[in-house]
């Protein structure tokens, strides 16, 4: 299977793996699965660190190390993803969530998330961590 991690799942995997449901943790540990990460998640982590909402030391250093330590494929952004982000039936306008969900749809990935709004969005294939 091919999975896209949302930002919170990536942070929990790196910093608080006990917050991952057993099914999600097993999925993430399975070497037969492809794990993908959006550059939007990198951007979100940098913002969270700048705002003091997470403590990770030097954010750029942390991101580089986290990307080196975990074998993620880069889920690149595209014009089609931008278009899809506006077609999503999500009740909020959070651009990061919209881009990540649209990436899952366009690239044929299952989104691993704890976000109830994304889980409820029928057009986004998800694996729930709730």
Tokens in use for 82? 């931008």
Question: What's the pLDDT score for residue 91?
Answer: 81
Q: From the centroid of its chain, how far is CA 28?
A: 12
Q: CA 27, CA 33: separation in Å to the nearest integer?
A: 7
Question: What's the pLDDT score for residue 70?
Answer: 85
Question: What's the pLDDT score for residue 8?
Answer: 97
pLDDT per residue over 41-87, tens digit each? 999 999 999 999 999 999 999 999 999 988 899 999 999 999 999 99
Name the class of domain 2-128.
alpha beta
Nearest-10 crossing angle of helices 39-50, 59-69: 140
Give me the residue spans of the domains in the chain: 2-128
CB-based contact 118:11 (threshold 8 Å): no
Question: What's the pLDDT score for residue 56?
Answer: 96
The pLDDT confidence band at residue 12, using thresholds 50, 70 and 90, is very high
| Torsion sign across C-alpha atoms 90, 123, 11, 36 | negative
Number of H helices, E strands in the chain: 7, 5
pLDDT per residue over 13-33, tens digit each? 999 999 999 999 999 999 999
């Amino acid at each position: 299977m091919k999975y896209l991690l949302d930002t919170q799942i990536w942070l929990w995997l790196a910093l608080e793996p006990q917050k991952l449901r057993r099914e999600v943790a097993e999925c993430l540990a399975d070497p037969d699965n492809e794990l993908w990460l959006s550059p939007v998640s990198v951007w979100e982590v940098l913002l969270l660190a700048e705002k003091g909402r997470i403590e990770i030391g030097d954010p750029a250093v942390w991101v580089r190390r986290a990307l080196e330590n975990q074998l993620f494929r880069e889920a690149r952004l595209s014009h089609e993803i931008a278009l899809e982000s506006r077609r999503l039936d999500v009740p909020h306008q959070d651009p990061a969530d919209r881009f990540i969900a649209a990436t899952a749809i366009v690239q044929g990935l299952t989104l691993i998330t704890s976000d109830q709004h994304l889980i409820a969005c029928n057009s986004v294939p998800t694996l729930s961590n709730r």
